[in-house]
Amino acid sequence: MEANKQIIEQVKFNLWANKRVVAWLNDNDETLITKESRSSFPSIIKTVDHIFEGEAVYLGILTGIPNQNPKPESIQDSYANLLAQSTAFVSYAEGQSHFNELLEIDSKYLKGSFAGHELIQHCMNHSTYHRGQLVTLGHQLGLTKAPSTDMLFYLSKKVGR
C-alpha cells in the first residue's frame, strides 16, 4: 500500500507543480510565451503542449482510452489542457487499488511490457524534465520570479511537515 501512496503523491505533486508554472507563465507577456527560442521545443507554449501530450499519451495507455482533447487554439487553451490532464491523472491514480498490472506498449517510440507504476513514474519524470526547460526558456527570454517546483518544496508545504 505504501507504494500506491507514493505514486498518488507523485501525481499530486505533478498537478501542484504544473499549476505553479502555469500561474507564473500567465503573469508574463504572451508574446514571450510564443517567441521562438533554442531548446528541445521552439517556444515556451510548444513545451507546455508537449508536457500535456506526454501526460495524455500515458494516461491513455493506463486507462485504455486515447486522448480526445482538441488541439489548443490559444495559450489559455494550452494551459487549461495541461491542468485538466494533470487533474485527470490524479483522479485516475486515486481510483486505483494497485499499479502493478503489466501493460503492453507497441508504438513507434516504445515497445515492451511495463507496470502501471513504471509508466506513471516515467510520465511524471518527463513532465518534471520539461518544466525545467520552461524555466530555462523563461530565463532566456527575460521572465523572472519562476516558482519553485521541487518535490521537497511541495512536501514541505503540506500540513504537518
pLDDT of the residue at 33: 97
35-61 confidence digits (pLDDT tens): 998 888 999 999 999 999 999 999 999
Under 8 Å between Cβ of 13 and 154: yes
Number of domains in the chain: 1
- The verdict on whether residue 50 carries a ligand-binding annotation is yes
- The verdict on whether residue 130 carries a ligand-binding annotation is yes
52-100 confidence digits (pLDDT tens): 999 999 999 999 998 877 789 999 999 999 999 999 999 999 999 999 9
Amino acid, single-letter form, for residue 69: N
Range of the domain at 94: 2-157
CATH number at residue 51: 1.20.120.450
Q: What is the pTM of this model?
A: 0.94
